[in-house]
Chains A and B, each alone.
Chain A
Amino acid sequence: MSMQDNDLQPEEFAQAAAEAIADAQARGFRETGQVLAAAGLCGVCAAEEAGGLALGIEFALPIVTEAGRLRLQWPLLETLLIAKALGTSPLAAELCSGERAATWALQGSLQDGFAGHARHAQQADWVLVADGRGGGALLDLSSVETETDEALDPEHPQCFLMLEGAKVLAEFGAAAFAALQRDLQILVAGWAHGAAEGALATTAGYMATRVQFGRPLSAKQAVRHHLAKMRLLQEAAGAGIRRVLRADEFGGERGTRAVLAQALDSAAFVLEKSIHLHGGMGFTWEVPLHRALREVRKFDAAFGAGALARQAGRDFIQSV
């Protein structure tokens, strides 16, 4: 199946993805994977021979954005990207079918013998790590010693991984790994954007109905301006993410670092303000906005908390 064959539009995937994700969320880790896979989400970019849909990353973006909006706690973006990278390998089929789940350790390398910032590594089967020579390696998590990092999120901790003696399932060359990293940055931006979108919708709805001094809080100019600024940042970040999918004026690929940095910053701002605007309720576990904030902050930390923007700045300075 291809976009040309069926005139599929990426945005049409959002609603179907939302339904599947909502259905999956109440289930355990394994069953969630099967529900997501049955909806075609795990294999959206994977080869047809592996049971995938062989669609471009632009089709994965609305799916992952919905996952962010609904605060899905499952390594969907990692699984669908690794399934794509595995091509026609039988391993890809295991990911597409939901039989296996894969995650990605965003820091460290096989060469270092140590990696970190892997989401859901306690439940996932495989983990992708940098090999330290520009490429990547897919490892069997059962062969890896893990240590949870509960500082930001005790419910869904990231994991540090000791990689000595790890079993390598597949290897990716430097070009393939770089392409995968680019896709990852786009999808993480999409996830963060979706998470913030969900929070903004919840917050705007609450402000419109929460009555104080005889009027909804949304009547207060200070509140309206907070919400309008959040809307502005969402629109701007979304525009940047959409744009990075399109080739530049000369057919070249656009850089993703600055766009991801902007998306993470904006999402953190929107989520923090959403919690603030919910007042005392926002500070408690009564509203689940903190889950999205934890996740965005975990991604931010994994990408070096400002390192993306610094690198984008360095690259630009060198280019002038």
Chain B
Amino acid sequence: MHTEQHPALAAAAEGPAAYRQYARQWLRSHLPEHMRADSLDYRAPTLDECRAWEASMYEAGLAGMTWPTAYGGMGLTLREHLIVNKEVGALLMPESVSSIGKELAGPIIQTVGTEEQKQQFLPRILAMHDYWCQGFSEPDAGSDLARLRTKAVPEGDTWRINGQKIWTSGAAKAHYCLLLTRTGTVADKHRGLLMFAVPMDTPGIRVVPIKSIDGKESFAEVFFDNVVVPDSARLGAPDEGWNAAIRVLSIERATNRMYRAWRFEAELRHLVAACKSDPALAKLLDDGHHQRRIGEVLGQIDALKGLVEHTVDQMTAGARIGARGSLTKLFWSECHQAFMGLALSLVSQVTPRSSPQARRARKAFANAYLYARAETIYAGTTEVQLDIIAQRIMDLPKDLA
């Protein structure tokens, strides 16, 4: 647990400027050069290297800013969370290898977990001891969780689980699965849903990796064949836990990965710097079409930052944000995906004779372009977000009053 003497807390007590300076200085001086996507020394970091980096961020007080101190967090506010995220976004560092734990499982456990579960799971997530995966999607239930089939049956003090999950990110490395099951039948739709924290080394769990568009095997199918877990693995009661989780998820959609707008800007800066380093690519930047597209991207980034900051203002003032997280997610994913198309078109002119920075950028942006296909799919597709906006923000009727 962090103490009041921790330099991050001391900086936070001095005010936003001091805290920002602390975060900026620490991140810039500690991020290994080979982890910076814009560095010529870049190489894909290993899982252990990522774990060590994120653990050191936590030790520096730059993770779990809003989590209670009792569970290893910093006990600060969303304002400090935003400050750190701006600085995290400004550097082209690897994505978290524990985002499911930090941004999904952790907040849900804080809301519906027992005190024992909170003490058991939360500090270990922040300290990077445990990774989590998310067992929600199934072959026949992506966005439509009413079609979920994985079943949990009570047997005395235990539960027997059978079913299959798919598109499960990071399942092969995960220590725990945040598993969504149903206690009744598919006819129950959204009733009877029950969540568990299932250790991934429980007998009966089988992980089959799936190769994704970027060539990685971070996705997986996960099979649960007569998996027996104790009742203490249950997160909340049937219905109660899931309903609470829904509320948490709507907040999380607005607050997680808050760094994305600032990372977007850093990527644009990387792209431009790489193009400027090479005479042939620099010529492309003299073209009015590319200048206009870059200007349009800047306008989108400004708007995205505005959406994020407005959300923090609203939440800090105690306002309910409802479905507004969908606005940020949708705007970011559509704009960022389009930007990656622009980036790919610029770096497609790279040849073996191009500058080293341009060649590095070609690798980085070709990969990012491919990975960006996922951005309009995960965490609710574009179509799902549009439905949410139409239904919950605009209140558009489907029938006559």
Residues of A participating in the B interface, judged by any CB pair closer than 8 Å: 204, 207-208, 211, 215-216, 218-219, 221, 224-225, 227-229, 231-232, 235-244, 249, 254, 257-259, 261-262, 265, 306, 308-314, 316-317, 320
Contact = CB atoms under 8 A, between A and B. Distances in A.
B44 interface: no
Interface of B: 20, 86, 268-269, 272-273, 276, 285, 288, 290-296, 298-300, 302-307, 309-310, 324, 327, 330-331, 383, 385-387, 389-391, 393-394, 396-400
Contact of A265 (B285, B293, B296): B296
Closest 5 CB pairs of A and B: A239-B306, A262-B299, A309-B295, A313-B295, A313-B294
B387 A228 contact: yes
A257 B397 contact: no
Given A228-B394, A262-B300, A242 B295 contact: no
Nearest to A312: B295
A241 B310 CA distance: 11
A240 B302 contact: yes
Contacts of B20: 249
A251 B226 CA distance: 60
Given A208-B396, A229-B386, A243 B305 contact: yes
B397 A242 contact: no
Contacts of A235: 307, 324, 327, 331
A227 B3 CA distance: 50
Contact of B272 (A207, A241, A320): A320
A31 B376 CA distance: 52
A215 B399 contact: yes
Contacts of B303: 236-237, 239-240, 243, 259, 262
A236 B307 contact: yes
Contacts of A308: 295
Given A227-B394, A227-B396, A243-B309, A313 B290 contact: yes
A310 B394 contact: no
Contact of B86 (A237, A249, A254, A259): A249
B331 A240 contact: no
A208 B291 contact: no
A228 B326 CA distance: 11
A112 B325 CA distance: 50
* Residue from A232, A259, A308 whose CB has the most chain B CB atoms within 10 Å: A232
B272 A317 contact: yes
A317 B293 CA distance: 12
A229 B388 CA distance: 11
A310 B306 contact: no
A236 B295 contact: no
Contact of B298 (A218, A265, A313): A313
Contacts of A310: 288, 291-292, 295
> Which of A221, A310, A313 has the largest count of B CB atoms less than 10 A from its CB?
A313
19 contacts: A216-B397, A218-B396, A219-B398, A225-B390, A227-B390, A228-B385, A231-B327, A232-B386, A239-B303, A239-B305, A240-B303, A243-B305, A254-B302, A258-B299, A309-B293, A309-B295, A312-B294, A312-B299, A316-B298
A202 B366 CA distance: 43
Given A228-B386, A239-B305, 10 more contacts: A231-B327, A231-B394, A239-B306, A241-B306, A243-B302, A257-B295, A259-B299, A262-B302, A313-B293, A320-B273
Contacts of A312: 294-295, 298-299
A186 to B, nearest CB: 12
Contacts of A237: 303
